[in-house]
């Protein structure tokens, strides 16, 4: 729940471009999630944040590209920061995610993600 609240606050702060800077050190570390990826990369996953008990990965999926089917050993949270993707799993579950939408990913179930628009996502494990 903490991650959902954190990412919701981060999303709205970035969306309005009204980020209050507490110190110059913080300002130097701020950047845009799109800058983590090569602009032309169809699908890209980059380590984003190393949590004490898990990982946060920035994902980019371009329109028409697919993050191929795979499984996760632990429950995960997929947050769509911008764009539009289609999440599907082997159980026949399908969900379209747009800016601000998130989904909890069930462990040990094959799933994949299709880029319906150029998209930026955050995966929390």
Give pTM, 2 decimals: 0.68
The phi-psi region of residue 8 (left if phi > 0; otherwise alpha if psi is between -120 and 50; otherwise beta) is alpha
Q: Which pLDDT value is given to residue 37?
A: 84
Q: Which pLDDT value is given to residue 13?
A: 44
Q: Which pLDDT value is given to residue 61?
A: 97
Provide CB contacts within 8 A for 62, sequence distance 6+: 41, 42, 43, 115, 118, 119
pLDDT in tens, the chain (125 residues): 555 444 544 444 444 333 333 433 444 565 677 778 888 889 998 877 677 778 899 999 999 999 999 999 999 999 999 999 999 999 999 999 999 898 999 999 999 999 999 999 999 99
| Among 118, 117, 88, 91, CA closest to 103 | 88
């Amino acid at each position: 729940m903490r991650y959902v609240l954190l990412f919701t606050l981060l999303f709205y702060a970035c969306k309005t471009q009204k980020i209050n800077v507490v110190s110059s050190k913080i300002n130097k570390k701020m950047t845009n999630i799109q800058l983590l990826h090569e602009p032309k990369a169809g699908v890209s996953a980059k380590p984003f944040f190393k949590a004490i008990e898990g990982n946060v990965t920035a994902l980019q999926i371009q329109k028409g590209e697919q993050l191929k089917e795979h499984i996760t050993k632990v429950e995960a949270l997929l947050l769509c920061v911008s764009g539009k993707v289609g999440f599907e799993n082997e159980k026949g579950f399908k969900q379209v995610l747009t800016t601000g939408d998130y989904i909890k990913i069930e462990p040990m179930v094959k799933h994949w993600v299709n880029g319906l628009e150029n998209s930026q996502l955050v995966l929390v494990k």
